[in-house]
Chain A
Amino acid sequence: MAKQFVCRTGDIPANGMKECEADGGLKLVVANSGADYFAFQAICPHQEVPLCEGLYDGAVVTCHMHLWQWDVRSGAPIGLAEAPLERYDLSVEGDSIYVESKSAIDVGTLFAGASEATLAQLAALARRETYPPGAVVYRVGDPADDFFVLDSGHVEFQIGRDERTSPAGFMLRKGEVFGWAALLEGHPRRIANARALEESALLRINGTEALRVLEADPQSGFLVMRRLSALIARYLAEPGAK
């Protein structure tokens, strides 16, 4: 992927952070931590608050609005945060900082922490598809062979059949995974309709093949399965009803 110039190392305060605009228009926050530089999305994934207005101590980024926090190195959520930060890979050449674009597989939480080799194998399984607004990704009863990683766009789910359907949530963040029945045993059929609300780009990955990759690297596989159960619980959970 092409790399784009972001800023000079001298622009970023020591153990501080600053909002920058890369060549090409991508807005991101660049943070310094000792000898290292990290970059992540400019806007809080919660409520569109600029993260450069938040707090940063050289290790943890905090949005000042509702105290969502992230590890600056991984973008992993800490404490109250309910979503990870989208991180960008930087390269430093001399005093210039460049950003490299990342695949949706690397951005999402489901595969965070899996080994490089496993991520590369999953990426090799992925087929990129684009859906125009209104296009159906799958319907109730279709075979659940593949799962999807959202790259861009907005995908909505409906449960029920015929006219008696009701909305069952939607996906809009790069890296979000849906159609996960393809990763579960005993769930051969779709239980919802998935439809693109706007033009959407998806990575389609075959569930059986992905499971084979994860079985060959049980450490990564265990992490992914733990995250998958947390993900499913999030859609089922009614907090307080313990």
Chain B
Amino acid sequence: MRVQVNARNRAYEFEAEPGEKILFAGLRANIDLPYECATGTCGTCKARLVDGRTEDAWPDASGRKYLKGAGEFLMCQCAPAGDVVAEVGSFVYATDPGACPAGPVQGVLAATRRLTHDVLAFDVELDRALDFDAGQFMAVATPGVTGFRGYSMVNFARQARRLEFVVKKKPGGGVSEWLFGGAAAGARLQLFGPLGKATFHPSLAKNVLCIAGGSGIAGMMSILARAAQEGYFGQHRGYVFFGVRTLNDAFYLDELAALQRTCPDRLDVTVALSDEDVPAAASEGHPTLRFARGMVHEVAKQAMQGKYQNVRAYLAGPPPAVDSAIRFLLLEARLTADNIRYDKFS
């Protein structure tokens, strides 16, 4: 089916497979259509239908609250029913030729393992090799659940055949319940990606500040893995702030300590506990990590004073934590907006 998207600067035409979401078809054709979450929550990919008809795969998507009027729809949720002409309100260009091309890929659920009482890691073996940038995510569809969910890659590899993700248990969350309910290894998954612009490249040549709440640490692990592989912390510093409620909610602490060993004295890792004083056992278990009581953005703000020269910040986690971090980084740390990177999920 033929899709035409009229942008502010020009029109683009591309083909969509039957049932394929308009956003995914456009990205696959190297057209950098507007999106952020790609999974129906943020509303960034909204468009206005000019001609034709679309099928909405998920009429209950929360991002629909951003739509005005019957003619508007979310490109990440709608597939064309026949030829379609739509209009988006922004300037649209071709995808950056240096970006990893996004496309559909299938995979198999290879393994799951509990990280805490409510966080689980799952690995997907892909049917083909995939290039992605550190900090990117995939849209993942699981059997029996409507729509895709976004998960950041934890690992980093070129031509990756295996992707590692983290999921937090959410009552009523279809994918999370399926995985926590003992999802069968070998189940087939549909994925689309890589997606997201909060990426890290070693050519950045800046100190890296990561502020993550809960499962938001996933993308940071990929950034740190890439940096460690390239010896990035030989020249630059890394500051990681990982916020959880209690020590029992923390995970990847061994992995973070192992990353520190690849670059002694250049990578500071602080675990912020919002709901309890730091137990004595914390430092005994992980002597190279720092532990502090407080909200992660407060702990980061305290610890980073006077260290903002040449810094790029990456943020991930619950929206209130990300918003608070943005506020102090812009207004108090005086970072420029292009040095604060995150992908909005709401």
Residues of A at the B interface (CB closer than 8 Å) are: 46-48, 55, 57, 62, 64-69, 78-80, 82, 156, 166-172, 234-235, 237-241
Are A167 and B97 in touch, CB under 8 angstroms?
Answer: no
Q: Which residues of A contact B4 (CB under 8 A)?
A: 167
CB distance from A184 to the nearest CB of B (A): 18
Are A57 and B331 in touch, CB under 8 angstroms?
Answer: yes
**A-side interface mostly:** loop
Q: Which residues of B contact A66 (CB under 8 A)?
A: 344
- Minimum CB distance partner of A158 in chain B: B11
Q: How many B residues have CB within 8 A of the partner chain?
A: 32
Are A65 and B337 in touch, CB under 8 angstroms?
Answer: no
Which of B16-24, B86-94, B120-128, B158-166 faces chain A? B86-94
B114 at interface by CB-CB < 8 Å: no
A55-B331, A67-B340 known; A240-B98 Cβ under 8 A: yes
Are A64 and B11 in touch, CB under 8 angstroms?
Answer: no
A240 and B94 CA atoms in complex are apart in Å by 9
Q: Which residues of B contact A46 (CB under 8 A)?
A: 90
Quick one: which of A156, A168, A172, A234 contacts B91, CB cutoff 8 A? A234
A55-B331, A65-B344 known; A241-B94 Cβ under 8 A: yes
Q: Which residues of B contact A237 (CB under 8 A)?
A: 93
Are B97 and A82 in touch, CB under 8 angstroms?
Answer: no
CB distance from A12 to the nearest CB of B (A): 18
B100-144 residues with Cβ-Cβ distance < 8 A to A are: none
A-B contact pairs, 13 of them (CB 8 A): A64-B327, A66-B344, A67-B330, A67-B337, A166-B11, A166-B13, A167-B6, A169-B6, A170-B87, A172-B89, A240-B97, A240-B98, A241-B97
Q: Which residues of A contact B98 (CB under 8 A)?
A: 240
Q: Which residues of B contact A82 (CB under 8 A)?
A: 91
- Minimum CB distance partner of A57 in chain B: B331
Given contact pairs A64-B323, A67-B326, A69-B337, a sample of 10 additional A-B residue pairs in the complex whose CB atoms are under 8 Å apart: A57-B331, A65-B344, A66-B344, A80-B337, A166-B13, A170-B8, A172-B8, A237-B93, A240-B95, A240-B97
Quick one: which of A47, A48, A62, A239 contacts B337, CB cutoff 8 A? A62
B10 at interface by CB-CB < 8 Å: yes
B252 at interface by CB-CB < 8 Å: no
Residues of B at the A interface (CB closer than 8 Å) are: 4, 6-11, 13, 43-44, 66, 87, 89-91, 93-99, 323, 326-327, 330-331, 336-338, 340, 344
- Minimum CB distance partner of B331 in chain A: A57
CB distance from A32 to the nearest CB of B (A): 16
CB distance from A200 to the nearest CB of B (A): 16
Quick one: which of B11, B89, B94, B340 contacts A168, CB cutoff 8 A? B11
Q: Which residues of A contact B43 (CB under 8 A)?
A: 47
A36 and B278 CA atoms in complex are apart in Å by 48
Are B330 and A169 in touch, CB under 8 angstroms?
Answer: no
Are B326 and A235 in touch, CB under 8 angstroms?
Answer: no
A55-B330, A64-B323, A241-B97 known; A167-B10 Cβ under 8 A: yes
A55 and B98 CA atoms in complex are apart in Å by 33
CB distance from B45 to the nearest CB of A (A): 10
A55 and B87 CA atoms in complex are apart in Å by 30
